[in-house]
Structure 1
Amino acid sequence: MNLKLDNKMQLLVLFTLTTSLVTIAQGIITTGVVYLMSDFSVSSTQAQWSYSAFLLVVGVMIPLSAFISRIFNAKTIFFFSLTMFLLGSLICYFSTSMTMLIIGRVIQAIGNGVLMPYVQILLLRVIPEEKWQTYMGLYGLVIAIAPVVGSFIGGFVITIYGWRALFSFFTISSLILMGLGLILVKDNTPTQDYPLDYLSVALSVLGCGGVMLGFTNVADYGFTHHFVIAPIIIGIIALILFVRRQPKLDKPLINVSILKNKYFSVGTIFICILFFALNGCTALVPIFIQGIANNSAIISASVLFPGGLLIIAFNFIGPLLTNRIGIKKVLVMGCVISIIGFATMMFYTQDSSFEFMMITQSIRYIGAGLALMPATTWALTMVSDKVEDGTAVNNTLRQIFAAIGSSMVVVMVAVLAGGAIGHNSASVIAFNQTSLVLLVLHIIMLILAIVYIDDKEKIENNI
């Protein structure tokens, strides 16, 4: 890439700031669900779609990221993404119904789904490979800070000024960033003449959207409902057809043949398990604290907040440690710390103290934070000549597993508890048993790290 160093830094800084903004928008609306229910006279499930619809759209946009990064330059991607985000924010601000708000969130999510994978691709393109861990750590630090701080501040903003104030902030911020983009984003990133296979696009949308929609509905409808079974079956069939079609194309939408790289596949499996457990616990732990242990929402937020800060810090510390002691030691350390965290969760009771839960959840977050960015970066270094395809495959699969985890872990507890989660001993035992399952998954991750994962130089020397 023929870009001067100053322009590289300008691009990365501006794109990272913009990505932080759209990342804040992803989950901040959850703090206002109660207000949406009141203003639009809808149920909690309907109001929650203001968040779920956003995640689904981001998930179906990610497979297109490799194609988009090839045919459009940075300037086009920057202004398209921000324009969509701005338009969505305006629609949300002026919403007079829940349907209108969801449409605005969908349009916002298109901007998010285009921008987030591209920033990672841009970073890996312009930064030398030997510095990927450091810069991915910095990127992970900024991206992790945004939703934690945003949700914390968003709760106060919604309480004092109302939920529409969030979208006025997004509108003004988008306009400021677009102004900076006119000055800083130059039209000199390389592009290719790359055809778009529309059938592949349709299959990827049906596949990713169907699987995520089906598993998202599990928590509301159970496994046997047609709103769960039909989308999952359609999604799986579409994904199979998508994967079988790609090798037949001269220029596939995603080069799925990179999964033949054993080390990239192992790294991607590791990340998918990590996101399954991380997002599952994000949904499950508040349910335990509030629904099973009968504590308040304030206690729940206070238990998890220190862990949120720690995962931010270790998103940065993990890559720095990787540069010093190597990828294997860092991932083994992350897995062992996570296993300790899940082991302690097996001893949670209805009377578990605030301090015990806070410390043990913080341990779990440290383990996840240590492993997250190093594992992602390591997997991509295994296919460093195909970062567009690697990023698309990696991000798509982890998004799917994150959506599955956020529903499946909660459903697992409900099934083990006899059908419903409540303030009773059966639910406590079910939570403990589910923690054991998550512990076993991290043992599998530990085995993968020990057996297959090592520094790229050592792997190449052994081949």
Structure 2
Amino acid sequence: MIMTQKHSMTQILLAVLATGVMIFCGMVIETSMNIVFPTLMAEFNISTSTVQWMTTSYLLVVSIIVPISAYLKERFKTKSLFIFAIVFFIIGVSIDAFAEKFALLIVGRIIQGIGTGVALPLMFNIIIDEVPTEKLGIMMAVGTLVTAIGPALGPTLGGIISDVLNWHYIFIFLLPILLVALVLGFFTIPQSRPLNKRSFDFIGFAFIPLLFGGFILALNQISTNGIASWQFVTSLLVGLIGLLGFLHRSKHQTQPLLNLSIFKNQQFSAHVVSFLLIQMTLLGLGFLLPNFSQIVLNKSATIAALQLLSGAIIGAIFTLLSGKILDEFGANKPIKLGTIIIFLALCLFLFSTSHLSNATIIIFYAIFMLGVGTALANIMTNGITLLPSTYKADGNATFNVTQQFAGAVGTTVCSTIVALFQSGTPSSDIYTVTTRLGTKAGFSVLAVLTGLSCLIMWLTLNRSNK
């Protein structure tokens, strides 16, 4: 049995870096692919609702794997999990680097999702297990910062690479970085907790892909076959069966894959819901803006990417600063301020859709990411601290699966809304006009979501201070 011991902050930082690099690469691919969606649509002759599966399939698989992270943490060594995860990710990236068919691209993304689903909770579990409470906020922010750099660089890299070379090189350039992370993690990943050879709930796990897959497919069917179609109804029923089955199984297992009793803590539940709504908006905007720029404003992939760069950098910087603020002053101020800024930014997008330009997109997105950087990581950190130490791994898994599933839902919802409005051929004026209308409808939905997130956190934090 492995005995508990503390490790140096240097080793912890390097371990976080090793696990974070893989997640960073996943975010780079995810955000850079959003930029080259129009290129992929033209090259493979596919629709908007089809191309979004490049992102949705990846996030869906991550969502399926992350709920078992608490089990994996108890059952297997952290270093073994990391090696498994990064090898799978490297295989998936290698497939996509040389794929010539869209179906093969999806296969590569699914394999990458398996790797990320295992690795994503590892980084935060290392921080939660190893870092003293008084430094937890800043270290959680560092972990979030590692992943936040991906969205900062991804769109720009995707745009430049696809314009100068081609989109295959997005994957090719990441391979040596992943190999370095593999070596770094092999020598630094710590193991502080003893292992527990508990049994795996295969029946409970079988409900997870039904749950997430069913609901995502149902959303996707709205634009392709309509809400009255048998495909939509069937997918929705599959999702409901998965949800009810997983809830029933978790309730009657002594050691469930994910301990859902943590949701009895109403304040924790409120943090999760708010986190979900913001994450949906983050990924939804990541789909709407690049497509709007290229289709409506007729900009290149590089210009569409550069529009998001300054905002992503601001978000990354304020993620780190807000963690320091949380450690010194608590979660109340950064979360409240951040959620207000996010809502105001979506209102700016919504009421200016008809007049959006390069300059306004850059400014509005920078404001949005200022809010995200101030609030998002602190919502996760504060939510996890509301739980007893025995449930923190379940809390971490909950936030991570929420992050990935929300991203998949946000991308699918926004692509579905745009696809419902679009008509005409891609080069026609009517296609441009209807894409603008669909984008405005997408902004409307995201504004409602961010307004709800803001309201939930203000009510929750005010209640906790009484």
Q: Could you tell me the TM-score, scaled by structure 2's length?
A: 0.86
Residues 73 and 188 of structure 1 are in contact (CA less than 8 Å); yes or no, is this contact kept in structure 2?
no
Is 1:453 the counterpart of 2:457? The answer is: no
Any conservation in 1 of the 2:69–2:397 contact (CA below 8 Å)?
Answer: yes
2:411 maps to which residue?
A: 406
Which whole-Å CA distance do the structure 2 matches of 1:77 and 1:57 have between them?
17
* Counterpart pick for 1:374 among 369, 378, 386: 378
Closer/same/farther in 2, CA of residues 224 and 366 from structure 1, 3 Å limit? farther
Letter in 2 for 1:350: S
Residue 4 of structure 1 corresponds to which residue in structure 2?
7
What is the match of residue 318 of structure 1? 322
Greater mean deviation of Cα atoms: 270-279 or 446-455: 446-455
Structure 1 portions without partners, runs of 5+: none
**What is the correspondence of 1:14-25 to structure 2 with a 5 Å cutoff?**
14-25=18-29
Q: Structure 1 pair 43/384, CA: closer, same or farther in 2 (3 Å)? A: same
Q: Compared with structure 1, are the counterparts of its residues 28 and 430 closer, same or farther at alpha carbon in structure 2 (3 Å cutoff)? A: closer
Structure 1 residues 145, 7: CA separation in 2 closer, same or farther (over 3 Å shift)?
A: closer
Matching residue within 442, 447, 453 for 2:450: 442
1:14-53 pair list within 5 angstroms: 14-31=18-35, 41-44=44-47, 48-53=52-57
CA contact (8 A) 1:335 1:371 kept: yes
2:76 corresponding residue in structure 1: 72
Aligned-partner Cα distance in 2 for 1:247–1:145: 38
Q: Which residue of 2 aligns with 1:87?
A: 91
Instruction: Answer 1 or 2: higher relative contact order, Cα 8 Å, separation at least 6.
Output: 2
Alpha carbons 1:289, 1:295 under 8 Å: kept: yes
Supply the distance in 2 between the matched residues of 1:160 and 1:437 (Cα, whole angstroms).
35
Confirm whether residue 205 of structure 1 aligns to residue 176 of structure 2.
Answer: no
Instruction: Provide the C-alpha distance between the structure 1 equivalents of 2:98 and 2:214, rounded to a whole number of angstroms.
Output: 30
1:101 aligns to what? 105
- Checking the alignment, whether the CA contact within 8 Å between 2:156 and 2:309 is kept in structure 1 is no
Note the alpha carbon deviations across 1:225-257, whole angstroms, 9 max, x for none.
444432232012211110121121111111011
- Counterparts of 1:422 and 1:38, CA distance in 2: 15
**CA distance, structure 2, for counterparts of residue 98 and residue 89 of structure 1:** 14
CA RMSD of aligned residues (A): 3.1
Q: Is contact 1:82-1:178 (8 Å) kept?
A: yes
Distance 1:408 1:148 in 2: 23
Match of 2:242 in 1: 238
Q: Distance in 2 between matches of 1:434 and 1:37?
A: 20
Specify the alignment match of 2:427 in structure 1: none
The range that moved more, 259-268 or 386-395, is 386-395
Kindly state the Cα deviation for residue 148 of structure 1 after the two structures are TM-superposed.
2.6
| Aligned mates of 1:153, 1:434 — CA distance in 2 | 26
Fraction of identical pairs, as percent: 25
Q: CA deviation at 1:323?
A: 2.7
Structure-1 separation of matches of 2:20 and 2:55? 22
1:153-205 superposed Cα distances (whole Å, 9 cap, x missing partner): 24434444444444443433333333334433466653212210100010012
In 1: Cα distance, 2:99 partner to 2:284 partner? 31
Asked whether the equivalents of residues 348 and 364 of structure 2 are also in contact (C-alpha less than 8 Å), the reply is yes
Superposed CA deviations along residues 419-452 of structure 1, whole A, max 9, x for unmatched, are 898544x876775565455434333323322221
* Contact 1:267–1:453 under 8 Å retained in 2: no
Task: Tell me, in whole angstroms, the C-alpha distance in 2 between the residues paired with 1:10 and 1:349.
Answer: 44
Correspondences of 1:210-289 after superposition (within 5 Å): 210-289=214-293
Distance 1:220 1:134, change over 3 A: farther
| Shift in alpha-carbon separation, 1:18–1:338, aligned structure 2, 3 A | closer
CA contact (8 A) 2:208 2:243 kept: yes
How far, CA to CA, are the matches of 1:92 and 1:427 in structure 2?
29
TM-score (norm 1): 0.86
| DSSP 3-state at the match of 2:354 | coil
Q: Return the letter of the residue paired with 2:46.
A: S
Unmatched tracts of structure 2, length 5 or more: 425-429
In structure 2, C-alpha distance between the alignment counterparts of 1:156 and 1:349, rounded to whole Å: 26
